[in-house]
Amino acid sequence: MSDAPAEGPLGYLDVSAPGVPKRRVPIFGQLFVGRECAGIAPARRMVIDDPQISRNHLEVRLDAETARAFVIDTSTNGTRINGMRLERAVPMPIKSGDVIVLGDLTLTFDAERFTGSSHVDPGLTRARINLSPMVMVVGDIVNYSTLSEMTDPGVIASGLSVLWGELGAILRAHRGTLNHYAGDALYAVWEPSAVPDAVALAITFALAANDRVGVLGPELPLRNPDGSPIRMGWAVVQGDAALSAMTRSVEAVIGDSTNVAFRLSGLAGRDGRAAVMVTAAVQRAARDRFMWGPSEQVMLKGRQGQETVFAVVAPATAQQPAVTDGAMPAHRTGPARQ
């Protein structure tokens, strides 16, 4: 029985590569292309067994109401449209007939209703995208690369589907918006203008999600090399994001705040650190709402200077008052392992 949506495809990708028969892949609103595309329904993913292709290389997104189509590059090695290299994580408009190239693969977009110009009008872009403060949470699976090398891709996909489903429900309960899953990571945002308690909700979500991973992990068929269940590291960061009117969702993050979130999540839960860590700005905004571990000066890859980060211990309670920074004497300082 097919799992394809009943309404039928909105468009197609005609796929060709040297020495490989051509094929036509339907697009049901969204199509994820990559080496794994873990956690994505089969009808909405195109898996490519090629080491040049990232686990989650790109996404094609079609908006039937506005007859606009976009491709979003999320890869390591990059993507080209009509010979032009895409900027990572920034949606690029496409039209029927445009050619997308990744590695040795050529994808030709074909859709009758998406025939408008794919050229970006700078004036239109400024009108449709607005900067807004955001609170961002990234949850990253510890040792995912090693785990994925020793685990069957089908087992990974089914396990991540369960995991992301559980964490998605917790996210909705905490009024967060899922931006995307990046294979081994979850990326979510809160808009303080719409959710006044955004910082506290984001931290509470990270704590609750981490607790759920602790309970769910032993039930999942995903194991570390030593046989232990999966763990995740969580980072909470504040910064600016670009809001697109296309889907009323966050399409791209401006500046380096999102990079800080991903890099800090890669430190959390490792080398004796707490599973949930936040930047100094987040800690100041929620100082009295949570119990804090010691601050730490870390070097984040790709940035100059040190970042001050804090471990989150637990929500503060009437019986157990919040610990402010400086109350715990043990502070670790120095570059963090990348």
Residues 254, 290 within the same domain = yes
Confidence of residue 141 (pLDDT cuts 50, 70, 90): very high
Helix extents (H) in the chain: 122-128, 144-149, 153-173, 198-216, 257-265, 280-285
The tens digit of pLDDT for each residue in 34-92 reads: 998 887 889 999 999 888 888 889 999 998 888 889 998 888 778 989 888 887 777 88
Residues spanned by the domain of 255: 129-333
Q: What are phi and psi of 34, to 5 degrees?
A: 175, 180
pLDDT of residue 242: 58
Specify if 190 maps to a domain. yes
Residues 165, 292 within the same domain = yes
Specify if 256 maps to a domain. yes
Considering 80, 103, 120, which residue would you say is the last residue of a domain? 120
Asked if 212 contacts 146 with a C-beta cutoff of 8 angstroms, the reply is no
Q: The domain that contains 106 carries what CATH number?
A: 2.60.200.20
Instruction: Say how many C-beta atoms besides its own lie within 10 A of residue 192's C-beta.
Output: 17
Residues 29, 141 within the same domain = no
Range with the poorest average pLDDT among 23-37, 109-123, 285-299:
109-123
Confidence of residue 131 (pLDDT cuts 50, 70, 90): low
Given a cut of 60, whether residue 318 has pLDDT beyond it is no
Specify if 305 maps to a domain. yes
Specify if 326 maps to a domain. yes
- Count of domains for the chain: 2
Instruction: Say how many C-beta atoms besides its own lie within 10 A of residue 89's C-beta.
Output: 16
Specify if 3 maps to a domain. no
* Burial (CB count <10 Å: 0-12, 13-18, 19+), residue 133: middle
The tens digit of pLDDT for each residue in 258-307 reads: 778 888 999 999 999 999 999 999 999 999 999 999 899 887 765 556 78
Residues 103, 135 within the same domain = no
Residues 99, 176 within the same domain = no
Q: Quote the tokens at residue 95.
A: 């039209």
Residues 206, 294 within the same domain = yes
pLDDT of residue 183: 65
Helix extents (H) in 66-143: 122-128
The tens digit of pLDDT for each residue in 149-194 reads: 788 888 888 888 889 889 989 998 999 887 766 667 888 889 888 8
User: Helix, strand, or coil here: 219?
Assistant: helix
Specify if 1 maps to a domain. no
Confidence of residue 15 (pLDDT cuts 50, 70, 90): very high
Q: Quote the tokens at residue 101.
A: 């190239």
The tally of CA atoms less than 13 A away on the side-chain side of residue 308 is: 11
Residues 6+ apart with CB under 8 A from 277: 233, 234, 235, 236, 264, 267, 268, 309, 310, 311, 312
Asked if 116 contacts 69 with a C-beta cutoff of 8 angstroms, the reply is no
Residues 163, 280 within the same domain = yes
Biggest alpha carbon–alpha carbon distance for the chain: 68
Specify if 88 maps to a domain. yes
Considering 86, 120, 154, which residue would you say is the last residue of a domain? 120
Return d(Cα 105, Cα 26) in angstroms, integer. Answer: 17
The tally of CA atoms less than 13 A away on the side-chain side of residue 183 is: 23
The tens digit of pLDDT for each residue in 200-256 reads: 999 999 999 999 999 999 999 888 888 899 999 999 999 876 555 443 344 444 446
Query: According to the per-residue pLDDT averaged within each range, which of 21-25, 262-266, 327-331 is highest?
Result: 21-25
Considering 70, 101, 120, which residue would you say is the last residue of a domain? 120
Residues 115, 182 within the same domain = no
Residues 107, 252 within the same domain = no
Residues 184, 226 within the same domain = yes
Specify if 81 maps to a domain. yes
Give me the residue label for tokens 């007939």. 97
> What is the pTM for the complete model shown?
0.59
Asked if 232 contacts 141 with a C-beta cutoff of 8 angstroms, the reply is yes
Residue type at 256 in one-letter notation: D
pLDDT of residue 185: 86
